[in-house]
């Protein structure tokens, strides 16, 4: 077995340099690992019943600083004080500032001391249901193993950014807790049946958040059925939370460097997750927006598109099916047919509509070669064609590309091939509410 050595710096930790040895899964040698996926009950930290709607808040990566501050101003008991502690410090403080994570730890300890949060006396599993607009998604709240993530039994489909990975790892390390769960998906109808049976009793929580999503939580009375089910499931898929998963791995490796008692059953080598049946999940499209920039106008963008792509007038913004997208320019919609699958294609990521849009239009026609870093392009997830039309018609954007949503099968095909999807390919909705169940390992 070959190894890859990665050096990871924790600015506020000692020693500051951590050497991580990662297994090279492409090597020819045998890989030995436990034969089953494991789901673990854990002593969750959660809000007291009377405070749950006040504590629960949107996840950290959906809030900017001003939005977090607005929520915090409404309640000193909101969990936003833990997940966005930067709002309490000067705006020029960067994410690797030790004071930010110390503030998060202080906020968490204060909520426990006030009795706003409590810790379960015994390990538990929960059933978590979200309902909005006539749709429901129901999942199992548990801990999963870092080892399963390392060996690829928890599959990823996105690249992670090292700086964001380390910022999340520092947050976890300093607070001694995984403060937000990872959103996982599984292909299993049997899980849906088990979850339904666990919801026969009165829920522990049942409340409507300000965004209109209803959240309900039940305590699972019988753990064994879930343990047996997942022992026969080959893999899970990360829907949302790639950086949280990677950060949990970084922290587990860091602790293993200094504490020889760490093993596969140590709490720090597990992280919290909600596992949903894939058939429950709703994936919204992730659209592309062209922002105003020097040397470009709405007219010039439209002229370049008409010269380089086959545009057909279209009544609405929804393309209606895969392998097509719609573009809004100067008060009108046009539809663009994207090229079919090439014969002998071996990379399923290249079959995705967002890949084709980038490869055939955004790059060669509009000159946007690196959508991750080019300031001329933006991404809008979870919104409809009407919102895109308003952006363009108001002059805030020069053009907007309305995409058809990616399917879970597309995601799984890419992940199973060990590949990654183009940036900003999936928008899962609703998002997991933060503050409902934490995993403390220190």
**Is the peptide bond between 66 and the residue preceding it cis, with omega within 30 degrees of 0?**
no
Q: In residues, how long is the chain?
A: 442
Residue 34 has pLDDT above 60, yes or no: no
Give the three-state DSSP class for 180: coil
Question: Which CATH fold topology does 286-404 show?
Answer: 3.30.1760
- What kind and span of H or E run contains 427? strand 427-428
Give the three-state DSSP class for 23: strand
Residue 247 has pLDDT above 60, yes or no: yes
The domain ranges of the chain are 36-283+427-442, 286-404
pLDDT in tens, 263-281: 668 899 999 999 999 999 9
- Angstrom CA distances, 82 to 103, 104, 145, 434, stand at 8, 5, 24, 10
**C-alpha angle 318-322-328 in degrees, rounded to nearest 5:** 35
Confidence of residue 23 (pLDDT cuts 50, 70, 90): very low
pLDDT in tens, 84-138: 999 888 777 666 688 999 999 999 999 999 999 999 999 999 999 999 999 999 9
Give the three-state DSSP class for 7: strand
pLDDT in tens, 408-421: 999 999 999 999 99
Alpha-carbon distance of 164 to 242, in angstroms, equals 10
Count the Cβ atoms, other than its own, within 10 Å of residue 358: 21
Task: Quote the pLDDT of residue 93.
Answer: 66
Alpha-carbon distance of 144 to 151, in angstroms, equals 13
* Phi, psi of 233, rounded to the nearest 5 degrees: -105, 130
- Supply the DSSP string of 313-369, one letter for each residue: EESSS---STTEEEEEETTEEEEEEPPPPPTT---GGGGSHHHHHIIIIITTTT---
Alpha-carbon distance of 162 to 13, in angstroms, equals 17
- What kind and span of H or E run contains 143? strand 135-145
Residue 364 has pLDDT above 90, yes or no: yes
Residue 317 has pLDDT above 90, yes or no: no
Instruction: Give the global pTM.
Output: 0.88
Exposed (0-12), middle (13-18) or buried (19+): which is 258, by Cβ within 10 Å? exposed
When pLDDT is averaged across residues 46-73 and rounded to a whole number, the result is 94
Confidence of residue 335 (pLDDT cuts 50, 70, 90): very high
If you average pLDDT over every residue of the chain, what do you get?
89
Exposed (0-12), middle (13-18) or buried (19+): which is 189, by Cβ within 10 Å? exposed
């Amino acid at each position: 077995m070959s190894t890859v050595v990665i050096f990871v710096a924790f600015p506020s930790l000692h020693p500051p340099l951590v050497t991580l040895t990662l297994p090279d899964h492409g090597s020819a040698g045998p890989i030995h690992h436990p034969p089953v996926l494991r789901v673990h009950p854990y002593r969750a930290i959660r809000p007291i019943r009377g405070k749950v709607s006040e504590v629960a808040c949107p996840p950290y990566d959906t809030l900017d600083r001003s939005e977090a501050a607005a929520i915090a101003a409404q309640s000193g008991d909101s969990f936003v004080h833990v997940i966005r502690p930067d709002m309490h410090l000067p705006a020029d403080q960067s994410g690797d500032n030790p004071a930010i994570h110390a503030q998060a730890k202080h906020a968490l300890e204060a909520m426990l001391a006030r009795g706003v949060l409590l810790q379960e006396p015994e390990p538990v599993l929960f059933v978590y249901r979200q309902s909005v607009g006539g749709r429901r998604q129901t999942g199992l709240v548990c801990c999963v193993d870092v080892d399963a993530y390392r060996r690829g039994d928890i599959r990823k489909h996105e690249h992670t950014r090292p700086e964001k990975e380390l910022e999340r790892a520092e947050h976890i390390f300093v607070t001694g807790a995984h403060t937000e769960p990872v959103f996982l998906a599984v292909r299993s109808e049997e899980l849906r049946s088990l979850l339904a049976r666990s919801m026969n009793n009165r829920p522990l929580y049942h409340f409507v958040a300000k965004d209109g999503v209803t959240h309900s939580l039940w305590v699972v009375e019988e753990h064994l059925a879930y343990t047996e089910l997942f022992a026969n499931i080959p893999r899970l898929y990360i829907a949302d939370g790639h950086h949280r998963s990677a950060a949990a791995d970084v922290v587990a490796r860091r602790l293993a460097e200094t504490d020889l008692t760490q093993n596969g059953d140590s709490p720090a080598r597990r992280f919290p997750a909600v596992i949903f049946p894939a058939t429950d999940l709703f994936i919204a499209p992730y659209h592309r927006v062209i922002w105003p920039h020097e040397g470009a106008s709405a007219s010039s963008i439209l002229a370049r598109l008409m010269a380089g792509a086959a545009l057909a007038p279209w009544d609405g913004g929804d393309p209606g099916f895969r392998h097509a997208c719609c573009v809004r320019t100067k008060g009108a919609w046009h539809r663009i047919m994207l090229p079919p699958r090439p014969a002998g294609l071996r990379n399923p990521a290249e079959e995705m509509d967002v890949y084709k849009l980038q490869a055939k239009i955004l790059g060669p026609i509009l000159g946007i070669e690196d959508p991750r870093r080019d300031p001329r392009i933006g991404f809008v997830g979870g919104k409809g064609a009407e919102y895109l039309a308003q952006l363009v018609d108001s002059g805030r954007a020069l053009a907007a590309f309305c995409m058809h949503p990616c399917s879970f099968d597309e995601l799984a095909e890419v992940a199973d091939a060990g590949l990654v999807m183009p940036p900003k390919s999936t928008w899962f909705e609703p998002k997991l509410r933060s503050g409902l169940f934490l995993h403390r390992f220190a």
